[in-house]
Amino acid sequence: MTVKIKIIATGGTMDKIYFDKKNDYQIGDPQVTQVLNVANVAFEYEVVSLLRKDSLDLTDDDRRLIYDIISNDKSYRHFVITHGTDTMVLTAKTLQPIPNKVIVLTGSMQPARFMVSDAVYNIGSAMTAVQLLADGVYIAMNGRIFTPDNARKNIEMNCFEEISGI
């Protein structure tokens, strides 16, 4: 049976368009659609462009909106959220109480429009993970799958890492 995946785009670096040396940018259309089209994926998906924000600008109301959309959706059980990396863990923790859904958040450190970007790899990882993991909330970044309680963004290393001692 083929899994149906709903992809919720919230903005973040993955969808950024830069105009002036990374100082002037806007959040463009979700790049996940182009990535999946180029990959000719063999599963059904729907992309919803919910927000176009840097994750540092996401509010509690934005997180509540994401929560409500996923928890009230009766048509989908599998969700991927493209999200900025700075507050990805916070959003993932906010979504943890949602039952009977597989939710994977992913993002990128460089815009998908850049020739050298981690976006394509992270999207592919998230799409595979959401089809294989048990119900719960996960983060797919840097070739690893994390739970919200054991992940953090290491700004100096520009990657996600596991929190020690859990």
Give the pLDDT confidence score for residue 1 in this predicted structure: 67
- Strand 16-20 and strand 24-27: the pairing is antiparallel
Tens digits of pLDDT across the chain (166 residues): 689 999 999 999 999 998 776 567 889 999 999 999 999 999 999 999 999 999 999 999 999 999 999 999 999 999 999 999 999 999 999 999 999 999 999 999 999 999 899 999 999 999 999 999 999 999 999 999 999 999 999 999 999 999 975 4
Q: Whole-model pTM above 0.85?
A: yes
Q: How far is CA 143 from CA 65, 72, 98, 161, in A?
A: 28, 30, 25, 11
Give the pLDDT confidence score for residue 22 in this predicted structure: 58
C-alpha count within 13 angstroms, C-beta hemisphere, residue 68: 7
The backbone torsions φ and ψ at residue 12, rounded to the nearest 5 degrees and listed phi first, read: 85, 180
Give the pLDDT confidence score for residue 121 in this predicted structure: 98
Amino acid identity at 150: N
The residue ranges of every structural domain in the chain are: 34-77+84-100+122-135
Q: How many CB atoms lie within 10 A of CB 37?
A: 9
CB-based contact 24:18 (threshold 8 Å): yes
